[in-house]
Structure 1
Amino acid sequence: MATPKNCSKCTKGKGSFFCIGCEEYFCKKDYGDHRAMMDNELDRFIEDCNTLQEKINTMTQNKNFDSLLLTEIDNWEETIIDKVKKVAEQVREQFIKLASAKEMETKSKFEKYRQNLNQLKETGDFVEHDLKYLELTVYQLNQDLKRLNQPLEFELSQHPQTLPIWHYDAGKHQWRADDPATTHHHIKPKVQRFLRAITYNISFSKEHKQLRFQGLSSILQHSKADIICLQEMTKSILEQLISEPWVQQHYFVSDIDGSTFLNGQESYGVVMLIGKSLYLRRLLAFPFHTEQGRQLLLAEIQLKTEKLLVGTVHLESKQDKETIRSHQIQTCQSVFNKYAMNQPNVTRLLMGDFSMDAVGPENLKQMNILKNWTDLWEKLNGANNRGWTYINARVDRIMFQSLRTIPIKIRMIGMTPIGQAPKRKSFAQTISSIFSLDKKNQDMTQIFPSDHFGLMADFDLSRI
């Protein structure tokens, strides 16, 4: 006969009831409690089931969330389309103005040619030189008409080229390209009280090249400038420049072999030297609408709590390229606005060879595009100080815009002759000089580092 089991809960009563779920024996009283507990558990699951059913019913009945989201998407679509239409209309107007200006420019050149031709025909006062000039004018007009009759290409956006930041590795005795995304990423901007910037068209001329480079290198080295912007830099001069110990020791360079130059066989361009004490975030190159391989070179620098945007340009040369220069200046304005991102703590510097005199009708028109900028020469030296940096013209500029950076001084550099050379003379001039009584220095001409004078400006950063 089997031995009777006690209740598994109270251990006193006789275990007359067996639960096949938990495989335990219970007395009558505890078995009733055990079943009641399981009934309560089941009731709880039923309540949870009912709650889930209500949620599902609510979700099925309330479909407004779909329509609200779709309405929001529709509104977003309309807003974007409206913005695109407005921008497209602005671009369309600018394009029409540009095309019309090119057509008017060609017609004006033709009218001058026609008047000149009629005058020569009436007077008969012309020589071979005049015929050569007429031939050249006809060729230029044909080229202009050919361009006007071709399908016009228009880029809605210019994607900048991110340039490597070149610095000299003294251990390996070579220049090394760093990724702008990682360069200086671990360095905090240094506190700097003053900033010095230079712009200089150094002339691509091969005449007296070595002597001129020595003079240029000496000027730049002793300037101790933080930022140096150079135009008409050739590959051969660049090769010499990056070999200079003072450049290797103190500067980042935007180019070391002319790979950023865009004007083909002429092979010259703009180069920027940035002092290693500055926190250089990135270097960008923006191609211009150009016939001469011109572009905007932009450096983004962090000065403690101030962003410094520095651009250098060599705008389209020659007097009849006013329309192209206008387009290039508009590009500069757009680029600076984009990278300033409406932040108040931004200092903007745009410097270089603007290829037009600071006095004249074109300057008034072009500077209206940069109407919120300050021409530092006029601000610090006065409008009556002409400050000619080229032959009877002030074509080189430093344009400035800032709320906290204070310009202190701007002056010309490269004004001291570095040597002399015999003048080039015609046969008649040579004969005249032989019989001249005053021969002192009459056969010599002075040599300067460039056919331009450079500009050097100092800024106070104490408010940053």
Structure 2
Amino acid sequence: MVSISKSLFTLLPKIKLNLNPTMSWTCSSCTFLNPPSQKSSCQICLSDSPLSISSDPSISVPKPKWPCKACTFMNPYHSISCEICGNRVSASGLATLETGDDDDDLSSSVGNVFLPLRPCNKGKVINRAPIMVQDDVKDSVRARCANAANKRKNREEPSGVEDDEVDAAMGYKGVKAAATKAIEQSDSVEQEPGKTFSTSKSKVLKILTYNVWFADIEMNKRMKAIGNLISLHKPDVICFQEVTPEIYDIFQHSGWWKMYSCSISNVMELTRGYFCMQLSKLAVKSYSCKPFSNSIMGRELCIAEIEVEKDMTLVVATSHLESPCPGPPKWDQMYSKERVQQAKEAVELLDRKQNVVFCGDMNWDDKLDGQFPPTDGWIDAWGKMKPEEIGWTYDTKSNKMLSANRTLQKRLDRIACKLQDFCITDVKMIGKDAISNLTYIKEKKVKSEVKKLTLPVLPSDHYGLLLEISTQ
């Protein structure tokens, strides 16, 4: 595991950086990972690279922060103790911040198994459950955390809220308390008094997959809306695609984040343009990632091995398979062959396990790519539970935020299951409603005239898929 103490940097605001010819960079149009080069345009779609900010004196760099080695909270530079758990910063950590030394081995864990981040335990904690506190007690967060073992209060559930109708301005404040055991876990992720998993009752788990869209269109408000969906639906496991360092930072400072362990450390996320990320409220034996050998876009398979209870393990895997990138000069870069091979490679690796959920943005096109999942013995969750519904997770007609784009309606996002001890009980689409009182301007060329359209903003260009499974 990459040492968290090496993560001595803070994220900069969303700005376009000067490209170093020795660094690879991600095209914001087609997501192609361009190799180090002196060229200033994408090798696939010829889009321009990000502009330099080296001569812009208006951009100020914020003061550095240091991550707590115990609970991972990003603390201000001037603090010598963690504002959440009270753990003191090491002298070597502050010295490195002052000198600005970089970590030369940031990606040493890529492809290896590493354990999830854990909350700080100041004392013996029994059946530690996630808690939500209201905004008016923000100043007492540290005191609550220090006494969390003895003083746990449950926040009442918000009432009268329908699916996907949470106000974008709504937010939660919480204390980080990822569960250290999964033997006793609430049916709906957030523990309720007197409600735990027991061996006499079936266990219900919720798994969410969501491409959050790395486009810089109302990013903060979109990510907050996704956070509201998480607070509403309470998934046990979350699989995100297209997470950028800025999105990671937004999520990390959200109230719901404190209830989960994360597959990505602060060090790892600083080294990449965008990536997949997994979060779990259940006990995780390990997180791992395996890069696809044929990917020119840096795509990989991310795996979380989750302990549901003693002698019962669930593997949840996610990926963002190779994206089609039609563009000049041939307009035929669909990458179907690469995508199909990646799907087969993933399924063959996961097929060794008894209970597996493989979900994510597969960029799947049934006409080009064929059947999904590509191997017998696996179930397409949406096809099984909603055979009468088309299930387009990318739809330029229903998603009015994309209505200025060329028409595209595809079931790009999929959930494939191979379950021995579980059965699928439900699957649904979330994030289909526009964010209240939020619009953006989109330019569209109509014949020879450029028109400016005012369009609504949704949480993402994709819809999320929420899977529900239970023990048989």
In the alignment, structure 1 residue 397 sits paired with structure 2 residue 414: yes
In the alignment, structure 1 residue 425 sits paired with structure 2 residue 443: yes
Match of 1:424, SS state, is: strand
- The structure that is helix-richer by fraction is 1
Aligned to 2:390: 386
Match of 1:281, SS state, is: strand
Q: Residue 379 of structure 1: CA displacement?
A: 0.2
Change (3 A) 1:361 1:321: closer
Change (3 A) 1:186 1:197: closer
Contact map agreement 2:356 2:418 (CA 8 A) in 1: yes
Match of residue 346, structure 2, among 320, 324, 332: 332
Aligned to 1:303: 308
Aligned to 1:455: 465
Match of 2:424, SS state, is: strand
Q: Residue 170 of structure 1: CA displacement?
A: 8.1
CA distance in 1, matches of 2:380, 2:215: 28
CA distance in 2, matches of 1:207, 1:460: 37
CA distance in 1, matches of 2:389, 2:380: 13
CA distance in 2, matches of 1:164, 1:335: 20
Change (3 A) 1:283 1:423: same
Question: Residue type matched to 2:253 in 1?
Answer: S
TM-score, scaled to structure 1: 0.54
In the alignment, structure 1 residue 285 sits paired with structure 2 residue 285: no
Match of 1:189, SS state, is: coil
Contact map agreement 1:258 1:268 (CA 8 A) in 2: no
Q: Residue 256 of structure 1: CA displacement?
A: 3.6
CA distance in 1, matches of 2:433, 2:443: 24
CA distance in 2, matches of 1:388, 1:291: 26
Contact map agreement 1:315 1:354 (CA 8 A) in 2: yes
Aligned to 2:370: 363
CA distance in 2, matches of 1:236, 1:333: 31
**RMSD between aligned residues:** 3.5
Question: Residue type matched to 2:238 in 1?
Answer: I
1:429-462 Cα shifts (integer Å, max 9, x gaps): 99898xxxxxxxx95211100000000011122x
Contact map agreement 1:162 1:284 (CA 8 A) in 2: yes
Match of 1:203, SS state, is: coil
1:376-426 Cα shifts (integer Å, max 9, x gaps): 0010000x4111101300010111111331111111010010044254235
Q: Residue 240 of structure 1: CA displacement?
A: 1.4
CA distance in 2, matches of 1:138, 1:333: 30
Match of residue 254, structure 1, among 252, 263, 266: 263
CA distance in 2, matches of 1:165, 1:354: 25
Aligned identity (percent) is: 23
CA distance in 1, matches of 2:446, 2:367: 37
The 5 Å alignment of 1:232-247 reads 232-247=242-257
Match of 1:329, SS state, is: helix
Consecutive unaligned residues of structure 1, counting only runs of 5 or more, are: 1-135, 140-158, 174-183, 341-345, 434-441
Aligned to 1:414: 431
Match of residue 270, structure 1, among 258, 268, 276: 276
Number of residue pairs aligned between Structure 1 and Structure 2: 278
Change (3 A) 1:185 1:429: closer
Aligned to 2:83: none
CA distance in 1, matches of 2:248, 2:389: 33
CA distance in 2, matches of 1:412, 1:194: 18
Question: Residue type matched to 1:241 in 2?
Answer: F
CA distance in 2, matches of 1:186, 1:417: 36
Q: Residue 286 of structure 1: CA displacement?
A: 0.8
The 5 Å alignment of 1:38-117 reads none
Question: Residue type matched to 1:403 in 2?
Answer: Q
Match of 2:443, SS state, is: coil
Question: Residue type matched to 2:114 in 1?
Answer: L
Contact map agreement 1:261 1:268 (CA 8 A) in 2: no
Match of residue 161, structure 1, among 112, 124, 134: 112
CA distance in 2, matches of 1:333, 1:282: 19
In the alignment, structure 1 residue 373 sits paired with structure 2 residue 378: yes
Change (3 A) 1:261 1:230: farther
Match of residue 355, structure 2, among 340, 347, 351: 347
CA distance in 1, matches of 2:362, 2:386: 19
The list of structure 1 runs, each at least 4 consecutive aligned residues, that deviate by more than 4 angstroms after superposition, is 136-139, 170-173, 184-188, 426-433
Match of 2:279, SS state, is: strand
Match of 1:167, SS state, is: coil
CA distance in 2, matches of 1:320, 1:255: 29
Larger Rg: 1
Change (3 A) 1:378 1:186: closer
CA distance in 2, matches of 1:388, 1:219: 19
Q: Residue 326 of structure 1: CA displacement?
A: 2.2
TM-score, scaled to structure 2: 0.53
Match of 1:378, SS state, is: helix
CA distance in 2, matches of 1:138, 1:164: 38
Question: Residue type matched to 1:309 in 2?
Answer: V
1:263-288 Cα shifts (integer Å, max 9, x gaps): x5xx100001100xx23111111111
CA distance in 2, matches of 1:326, 1:377: 19
Change (3 A) 1:170 1:209: farther
Match of 1:218, SS state, is: helix
Match of 1:169, SS state, is: coil
Question: Residue type matched to 2:307 in 1?
Answer: Q
